[in-house]
Amino acid sequence: MATLLILASKPQPVLPPRESIDAVACANASGYSAAAANLPDPAFTVMTAALASERQPSHRFALEALQGLRTGALYMIPRPALQGFSVRRLKHELRNLRVRPWYFRWKLRSIGYRFDVFATRSREFCHGVLLRQCGGDPAVSEQIARRKPSTGIVALVFGLADPRFTRLVVSGFDFEVTHAYAHDRGMVRKGDLRSRHAETDALVLRHLCARYPNLYTTEPRVHECAGVPYL
């Protein structure tokens, strides 16, 4: 039984025993946590294009944390382009040059982040994979139309679709705006720390664990909020 650890960026993730992990998949800059725990380089990593924009402190901290790390495959989720040829679309494209695939690749290479394969996966593609794995449930479809899932959930559904792995373990998820690489650095907004993806992620996890008996977690919050069984 090959076990894939899906690692998100929660500070101090609860990790399964090292000997029980065959491969790791990461979301955004959670490769930082994998390296800190002496885990193997990720088999694949899913990142949002927004990381390269550096518009928010969390983006800059993420790039700093990724310096010198590597992954096998790197899947970038680009921002959707506006349709048509309006002045508004032109302004949108100019404003978002930093989230284009060519800039994203260059930016990561400039900080010493290495990858064997680079590919883009549109939001529509990711949502299609997710919906298929949730059995096309209408409630899930309506929810992801209102609020997209987190990058960690996208990494999870990619792992579930990979025939190399027969057991998946979710770690480093907590439904809050927290990052191991930016802990106590003032990047978390004050007040409500609940992630804007929390409702979508919990709903998707509930559907996935009902459909996939090989899905587990090591995180109490994931077990409590989404019913994913403990490893």
Q: What CATH number is given to the structural domain containing 91?
A: 3.90.1480
For residue 167, tell me if it sits in a domain.
yes
Asked, for residue 110, whether it belongs to a domain, the answer is yes
Alpha carbon distance 161, 36 (integer Å): 27
Cα(first)–Cα(last) distance of the chain, in Å? 14
Mean predicted lDDT score pLDDT of the chain = 88
Identify whether 231 is part of a domain: no
pLDDT band for position 187 (cuts 50, 70, 90): very low
Each residue's pLDDT tens digit, 68-101: 999 999 999 987 654 555 555 555 555 566 678 8
Q: How many domains does the chain have?
A: 1
Q: Is residue 25 part of a domain?
A: yes
- Judge whether 42 lies within some domain: yes
For the cut 90, the answer to whether the pLDDT of residue 65 exceeds it is yes
Task: Round to whole Å and give the CA distance between 7 and 36.
Answer: 12
Which bin fits 112, alpha (ψ -120 to 50), beta or left (φ > 0)? left
- pLDDT at 54 exceeding the cut of 70: no
Give the DSSP letter string of 129-157: HHHHHTTT-HHHHHHHHHSPPPHHHHHHH
Q: Residue 230 gets which letter from DSSP?
A: B
Lowest mean pLDDT among 18-27, 123-132, 165-174, 183-192: 183-192
pTM, two decimals, is: 0.88
Domain membership of residue 208 as a residue range: 3-226
Rounded Cα–Cα distance for residues 143 and 199 (Å): 8
Report the C-alpha gap between 44 and 26 in whole angstroms.
Answer: 7
Q: Is the pLDDT of residue 7 over 90?
A: yes
Distance CA 121, CA 112 (A): 23
pLDDT in tens, 138-153: 999 999 999 999 999 9
